[in-house]
Homo-oligomer: A and B are copies of this chain.
């Protein structure tokens, strides 16, 4: 008989995420070990508890999930988790701090339903946040040319550098878009536009978006009005507006949830899964069929 599925949730926020917990339960996890306020220092001992308690053949029934609102903190915890593994003494592990990996995957997958990403021109606004960086990376992996936009050129350049470090042949262009005058150049000829900005900040007006005749898909990940792309509605799911298809945050969210749930379930298929940006995107592709 197979062992109960245990998910060790290492959350960097003081209160562990209810969101991640509910998704885990709905993904079939039997027992959640929810830890809040996790720092890299405490990780090793917790991971040892996960890998030294069951026989190697049963380690696939234990897994680790790294979450919390701070993606950088999550990445540090994720690194420690993997560092504690050795040889076959390991469990599967997934990182989805701030929902960044599942959201980025759902965003790029939504675009991919309508256009071929290879060689296409994409623009990512507010591209230097945790979700934006991952969207840039996944678009680059798919062969798109990406304009990496930020209020600060240095931040945009830094994101380009980070993505090129992992996607050698990425076609990236850093752009400062701190004032509206810069927007036409950012949007000119672009086919996919992603706004991954903070809540309640409009990054591109409805007029700018409507005037961009090359645009085929516009995706906005901000769920709190005013939204990031003027004229897009939060629940838009491939809604035709001004000659292109629009997605709002909730429109992308359904796919995100499916990917999140499938990724947690996938953890228990073996004890060697490492689900980070690329793996979660790949899994999302499988789900799209």
Interface residues of A (CB under 8 A from B): 3-4, 6, 8, 14-23, 25-26, 30-35, 37-38, 42, 45-50, 52-54, 62, 69, 253, 257
Contacts and interface: CB of A to CB of B under 8 A. Distances in A.
B4 A19 contact: no
A216 B46 CA distance: 36
Given A20-B49, A25-B31, 5 more contacts: A14-B42, A15-B46, A19-B49, A22-B54, A25-B30
B62 A49 contact: no
Contacts of A35: 15-16
Contacts of A257: 53
B6 A22 contact: yes
A51 to B, nearest CB: 9
A30 B28 CA distance: 12
A38 B13 CA distance: 13
A3 B26 contact: yes
Copies of this chain assembled into the complex: 3
Residue among A8, A18, A54 with most chain B CB within 10 A: A18
Contact of A31 (B32, B47, B50): B32
A47 B17 CA distance: 10
Contact of A33 (B18, B42, B50): B18
A8 B4 contact: no
Nearest to A23: B53
Given A38-B15, A42-B14, A49 B22 contact: yes
Contacts of A42: 14-15
Contact of A26 (B15, B21, B38, B53): B53
Nearest first, the 7 A-B pairs at minimum CB distance are: A18-B49, A19-B49, A22-B53, A18-B46, A15-B42, A4-B25, A25-B31
B50 A18 contact: yes
Contacts of A8: 18
| A17, A33, A69, A253 interface centre (most CB from chain B within 10 Å) | A33
Contacts of A15: 35, 38, 42, 45-46
Contacts of A38: 15
A170 to B, nearest CB: 33
Contact of A17 (B26, B34, B49, B62): B49
A48 to B, nearest CB: 7
